[in-house]
Structure 1
Amino acid sequence: MATGKLYIGRRVRDLRQANRTTQAQFAERLGISVSYLNQIENNQRPVSAGVLLALAEKFRIDLSDLSGGEDDRLISALSETLTDSLFDGYTPSLQELKLVAQNAPGLAHALITAHRAYRHNSEQLASINDTLGRGPAAVEATTYEEVRDFFHFVDNYIGELDPLAERLAAHIGIGDVDPGAMLAVYLERHYGVRIARAAHDPDLIRAYDREARVLTLNSYLPASTRNFQIALQIAQLHAGDVVDGVAAAAGFRTAEAYEICRIGLHNYFAGALLLPYRRFMEAAREVRHDLDLLAARFGTSLEQVCHRLSTLQRPGQKGIPIFFARIDRAGNITKRHSATRLQFARFGAACPLWNAHQAFESPGRINRQLAETPDGVCYLCLSMQVSRGGRGFRQPQQHYALALGCEISYAANFVYADDMDLNNAAAYDPIGISCRICERAQCASRALPPLKGRLTIEHDVRRTLPYAIRAPGGMDGQD
């Protein structure tokens, strides 16, 4: 796979300023001219291999920390924003998007936030008859998206919490034996909180009585969920002040977003406690990311394992860059994160050709797919169905698909790729991000035309699609 030129001017400038050096001093330590450094910081020239090595040697940074993951996420979100018909007549080039993401990320985030508000206001006006008397509904959706974007743009790694959870896991002994009993003992000995079983209430998962210091759990929870809920209670007691500080520093616009983020951060700590960073990453490498083996070793669920794999982005100690998503039967993505170049659509359903949807057709099985996105990047994609909900014949259950994958250059790290023909171009299925922004013109599974594509309607000819798609420039789009 070809490697593009690396423009990291803003990061180099931030590194120089963090070390409180002038351009002349910084350039001297790197062994380059001041003019070359100035061009690098202004993204007029890419960094060479020699400069990268000098940065790693002289400033003790991990080269993987200079990868374009953050820019890829921002470019994807910005690109999708600008496909809206609101911006008809303007189609930015990839180079323009890169310049904005690298040099003015604050402006890019502001535009994305403004567009999100515009969308929700438009949707609210369009359904005014339904929303009268239920005004807060539209606000809640915006609140959740604001929190989701917070986790997305911090690379789904919370540096203030993860090491704290890892130290506590080592103190408790998580990873040596089944964690359930150890967590319960720690909770009672250190915080005086005992665990009780709930009277039959199918809707209750957990309840904490602060005065009596009693954590009540549903009697029918599976062991992995029970362990997580105990870890969550420990998170609230052990890391509450740190969580509050992280949520406050995020600068959310509403109190609701702040409180929702606190829930997400407590959940993050609980996951990091059950699956401590280095021990979990080493185990993942040892079993070559066999999801069932990892879940069995740490006493967790498949979803907890998949989610944790997506958070292994600690600077200097990064795991395999993967994407992770949870999708419901309607195609809604209820969790999403990607450390790869594949970035999920912020609006609309996922590509119907993606094997995530096949998970509902084959419960209990891990589905595999070799896929290629319109930008030519190839991926190993895994999907599986999971269920959650109450026990008992009459209790409803929710069914979700989990999707996990990596760029094909990392596929050898996954046991699931062993017998797949990775070098056969014909083995890769063409997938997109979502129909509204997909560039593929000849896709029989297309649900709706792309926002920026112009249509040609032929009344005397009927093809698989009832229209032909022309690229914004006027030429017919190609597959």
Structure 2
Amino acid sequence: MAVGKLYIGRKVRDLRLANQATQQQFAERLGISVSYLNQIESNQRPVSATVLLALADKFKIDLSDLSGAEGDRLLSALAEALTDPLFNSQAISHQELKMVVHNAPGIAHALIAAHQAYRHNSERLASIDDTLGRASAIVEHTPYEEVRDFFHFMDNYIHEIDVLAERIADEIGIGDQDTHAALCAHLENRFDIRINRSTDARDLIRDFDEERRLLTLSPYLIPATRDFQIALQIAQLAGDEIINQLLDKAAFRSSEATEICRMGLHNYFAGALVLPYGRFMTAAREVRHDLDLLSARFGASIEQVCHRLSTLQRPGQKGVPIFFARIDRAGNITKRHSAAKLQFARFGAACPLWNAHRAFEAPGQVIRQLAETADGVRYLCIATQVTKGDRGFHTPRQHYALALGCEISYADQFVYADDMDIGNRTAFDPIGISCRICERANCVGRAVPPLKSRLVIDHRKRGRLPYHIG
């Protein structure tokens, strides 16, 4: 595979400092001059293939760990923030944005946070809501969004938790025996907690009585949800120390954000326990990422499988870079993550031409799509509709579309690519990230004009859109 130009000066510098080496010592180990190393670290020159191989050989690192995935996420978020009309007077090129992301990621994060605070300030002022006049509430983005960004920029992979969960899974035999039996036995033997399934708990999914050492679960949970809740209880007990350390390091602005993140880390731990990293990734490769087969093998829901596939980013043992999203009927993206080049918009709905929206029209089916974004990158996209909720005629249920995909270069590792004409460029549908930042000038699916473009109105003519994008 050809190696493109990589400006990874910050990563090279961090690696050198982690090895407590001077530039002279580090350059000697790589077999390059000090001046060349200095230029690499300051992002004045890209690393060559020779230097990449030397880094892998001398410092035993995975070349995929030096990829630009983290930079892609930050670049996408920064570019979206700068489409705001607030910055109309500033003509900032894509190359300038890349320089900021590569050389000063801290400044990029700060600018994104500042824009988010400005955006919430404007929204609250416009609606004259109850928070008007309370400065701290106006200038800070919501705790939920702060936590969302935490997981986003962690690449949705938490190494310390993942490794611990996998070790426990190996110890108790997840994958070698019935998952439910293994989780129940561990909960009782290790933590002296019994499980009760009481009809009185119908309105609750789970209820832990610490004093009585009793975990009560609704008797109407499907097996996958039931086992996940047991794993969640183990996560709260076994992962407490590591999670507290992660929360201290994250230094959230409010206790509310801290507790929201704690819940997210508990959920992450539970998912990593019932779908242990090594076994799950091996199985995914064996069945070519067949969601139904993975669900059956591990006794997990389709959503749990999709979410876990998007977290397979362990250094030195990465899975296929996948994007994953969960979308409700109104088009709101309620979960989002991308280890691929495609990055979801931080605000607004997803592209209406994306196949995820069609999943609601065909419950139980897998909808496939070949798609190409405006930057010319092509993807295999799959989507399916799922229903969540307890059993019972009067029980309300939630309906979501799950969207999953990868760049087309990985399509052969997915069973869903079989018989698709991936070699034919005309077979790819043009999609975008969201209308507000998409530059496609003549898109039939456009809902709103792009923020950064000038609109030209010709009252004599009407095309697909009632305006021309200048």
Tell me the distance in 2 between the aligned counterparts of 1:339 and 1:422.
21
Tell me the distance in 2 between the aligned counterparts of 1:129 and 1:286.
53
Unaligned runs of 5+ in 2: none
Q: 1:164 and 2:129 equivalent?
A: no
Q: Secondary structure at the match of 1:283?
A: helix
TM-score of the aligned structures, taking structure 1 as reference length: 0.95
Q: In the alignment, is the contact (CA less than 8 A) between 1:82 and 1:91 conserved in 2?
A: no
Residue 273 of structure 1 is matched in structure 2 by 273
Q: In the alignment, is the contact (CA less than 8 A) between 1:203 and 1:390 conserved in 2?
A: no
The structure-2 alpha-carbon separation of the partners of 1:9 and 1:136, relative to structure 1 and needing over 3 Å to count, comes to closer
Q: In the alignment, is the contact (CA less than 8 A) between 1:178 and 1:298 conserved in 2?
A: no
Q: Which segment drifts farther, 285-294 or 200-209?
A: 200-209
Amino acid across the alignment from 1:302: I
State the Cα deviation string for residues 129-188 of structure 1 (Å, max 9, x = none): 576799999899711110010000011110110010000000010012320121111101
Residue 358 of structure 1 is matched in structure 2 by 358
Amino acid across the alignment from 2:401: A
CA offset at residue 122 of structure 1?
0.9
Tell me the distance in 2 between the aligned counterparts of 1:3 and 1:294.
33
Across the aligned residues of Structure 1 and Structure 2, the Cα RMSD in angstroms comes to: 1.8
Tell me the distance in 1 between the aligned counterparts of 2:240 and 2:186.
17
Q: Which segment drifts farther, 420-429 or 91-100?
A: 91-100
State the Cα deviation string for residues 46-104 of structure 1 (Å, max 9, x = none): 11100000000011110000000000000000000000011112232221111111111
Residue 474 of structure 1 is matched in structure 2 by none
Amino acid across the alignment from 2:339: A
Tell me the distance in 2 between the aligned counterparts of 1:213 and 1:244.
22
Unaligned runs of 5+ in 1: 471-479
Amino acid across the alignment from 1:26: F
Aligned residue runs from structure 1 range 441-456, under 5 A:
441-456=441-456
Tell me the distance in 1 between the aligned counterparts of 2:3 and 2:15.
23
The structure-2 alpha-carbon separation of the partners of 1:115 and 1:54, relative to structure 1 and needing over 3 Å to count, comes to same
Tell me the distance in 1 between the aligned counterparts of 2:350 and 2:364.
22
Q: Secondary structure at the match of 2:111?
A: helix
Tell me the distance in 2 between the aligned counterparts of 1:434 and 1:348.
7
Q: Secondary structure at the match of 1:195?
A: strand
CA offset at residue 266 of structure 1?
0.5
CA offset at residue 267 of structure 1?
0.4
Aligned residue runs from structure 1 range 256-335, under 5 A:
256-335=256-335
| Number of corresponding residues | 470
CA offset at residue 120 of structure 1?
0.9
Residue 401 of structure 1 is matched in structure 2 by 401
Tell me the distance in 2 between the aligned counterparts of 1:179 and 1:120.
44
Amino acid across the alignment from 1:350: A
Tell me the distance in 1 between the aligned counterparts of 2:227 and 2:63.
37
Tell me the distance in 2 between the aligned counterparts of 1:455 and 1:2.
41
The structure-2 alpha-carbon separation of the partners of 1:254 and 1:137, relative to structure 1 and needing over 3 Å to count, comes to closer
Tell me the distance in 2 between the aligned counterparts of 1:336 and 1:137.
25
Q: 1:344 and 2:344 equivalent?
A: yes
Q: Secondary structure at the match of 1:161?
A: helix
CA offset at residue 117 of structure 1?
1.1
Q: In the alignment, is the contact (CA less than 8 A) between 2:325 and 2:336 conserved in 1?
A: yes
Q: Secondary structure at the match of 2:317?
A: coil
Residue 190 of structure 1 is matched in structure 2 by 190
Q: Percent identity?
A: 72
Q: Secondary structure at the match of 1:249?
A: helix
Residue 457 of structure 2 is matched in structure 1 by 457
Tell me the distance in 1 between the aligned counterparts of 2:133 and 2:211.
37
Tell me the distance in 1 between the aligned counterparts of 2:136 and 2:389.
27
Residue 239 of structure 1 is matched in structure 2 by 239
Q: Secondary structure at the match of 1:384?
A: strand
The structure-2 alpha-carbon separation of the partners of 1:429 and 1:3, relative to structure 1 and needing over 3 Å to count, comes to farther
Amino acid across the alignment from 2:374: P
Q: Secondary structure at the match of 2:265?
A: helix
TM-score of the aligned structures, taking structure 2 as reference length: 0.97
Tell me the distance in 2 between the aligned counterparts of 1:247 and 1:219.
33
The structure-2 alpha-carbon separation of the partners of 1:325 and 1:135, relative to structure 1 and needing over 3 Å to count, comes to farther
Q: In the alignment, is the contact (CA less than 8 A) between 2:384 and 2:401 conserved in 1?
A: yes
Q: Secondary structure at the match of 1:367?
A: strand
Tell me the distance in 2 between the aligned counterparts of 1:306 and 1:295.
9
Residue 70 of structure 2 is matched in structure 1 by 70
